[in-house]
Amino acid sequence: MPDQDKDKTAVVPSPTATEIPAATPPAQQAKPVAVTEEASSQYFFGEPLVGFDPSEITGSLVVIEGMDGSGRSTQIALLQEWLESEGFAVQTSGLRRSNLVGRDIDELLAKNAVTRLTLALMYATDFFDQVEHRILPALRSGTVVLADRFIFTLIARGVVRGINRDYMSGLYAMALRPHLTFWLNVRPETAFGREFKKAQAISYWEAGRDMSLSHDLYWSFIRYQTMIKREFEVMAKKNSFIELDGEASVSAVNKQLRQRIGEQLGIRATKYTPSAALAHLWR
């Protein structure tokens, strides 16, 4: 991975590094983390994460974003199989999967008695717990991390609920910058059909029912997901999203994903047909 060698040389001690120990505990002073502001913005959206040295990263962080029903989980299952068959170790992450608060958020959602700000902060806790205990250890050991959603969904959900946009992005200033961010873009109408087919119902939160957009479940879903989609359009340019047509066939979307990920990881031939276990996803 030639890109990452380049990254390492970018982390050089700078005059500003002398200011850092004042805010850093002695335990971490023992192995000083010399991150210049410029270098840190290459790894993080804003601020460097406490006690973490970005030069240790040897793996790749690949993010798949998109609304419910955009095909994210299907694509991640296929990509994981493909990467493993190519000899890459894979770790996955996703919302509400942290050991720290994953289940607590499930409970909050079930009870539906939580305010928007508290929920946003619980999701942030869940996110950073996974960054620190799942994503970073994997990236340090050269693993490819496939993230099923990332800060962009979380920021969009907060913003459409009226939380200040700068506040939301400030919250995630210490998030790692992904190597690749894919956006599987689908129309809310298509997503509705796919989601309905999965469960024969639409959940309270998927439809944004907490926002009182419409008493009609269909229109609530469409309006909510359209608002989210608009936020994604705002973020897409700033964060160099790779936008893919999520309405194309699974195999066509997968081919494009493999090509871009192949470039990143230096895999030349990106031919792939799923094993029998995953063949049902291939349509």
Partner 1 sequence: MEIQDTAVKAPRAEPAKSTLPQPGRPVPSRAYPGALIVVEGTDGSGKSTQLYLLKRWLEIGGYRLHFTEWNSSPLVKSATRRGKQRRLLTPTTFSLLHAADFADRCERQIMPLLQGDYLVLADRYIYTAFARDAARGCPARWLRNLYRFAPIPDITFYFRAPLDVAVHRILSGRPKLKYYEAGMDLGMSYDRSESFRLFQARILEEYDKMVDSDSFVVLDGTLPVNKLQKQMRDIVASKIDLKRFAPRAPEAE
Residue numbers at the binding site for partner 1 (CB under 8 A): 23-28, 46-51, 99-101, 104, 108, 114-118, 120-122, 124-125, 128-129, 132-133, 158, 161-164, 166-168, 170-171, 173-174
How far, CA to CA in Å, does 97 sit from each of 129, 148, 208, 277? 9, 11, 21, 24
Q: How far is the CB of 275 from partner 1 (least distance, A)?
A: 36
Residue whose CB is less far from partner 1, 227 or 257: 227
Q: How far is the CB of 230 from partner 1 (least distance, A)?
A: 18
Residue whose CB is less far from partner 1, 15 or 26: 26
Q: How far is the CB of 199 from partner 1 (least distance, A)?
A: 27
CB 221 within 8 A of CB 206: yes
Residue whose CB is less far from partner 1, 161 or 260: 161
Which of 121, 126, 190, 185 shows the shortest CA–CA distance to 158? 121
Chain centroid to Cα 62, Å, comes to 8
Which of 212, 216, 217 shows the shortest CA–CA distance to 195? 217
Q: How far is the CB of 155 from partner 1 (least distance, A)?
A: 11
Residue whose CB is less far from partner 1, 174 or 213: 174
How would DSSP label each residue in 35-101? --HHHHHHHBSSSPPTT--GGG--SEEEEEE--TTSSHHHHHHHHHHHHHHTT--EEEEETT--TTT
How far, CA to CA in Å, does 60 sit from each of 145, 244, 262? 6, 20, 12
Residue whose CB is less far from partner 1, 77 or 114: 114
In whole angstroms, what is the distance from residue 259 CA to residue 65 CA? 17
Q: How far is the CB of 208 from partner 1 (least distance, A)?
A: 16
Residue whose CB is less far from partner 1, 101 or 228: 101
Q: How far is the CB of 94 from partner 1 (least distance, A)?
A: 17
Signed CA dihedral, 6, 7, 10, 11: sign only: negative
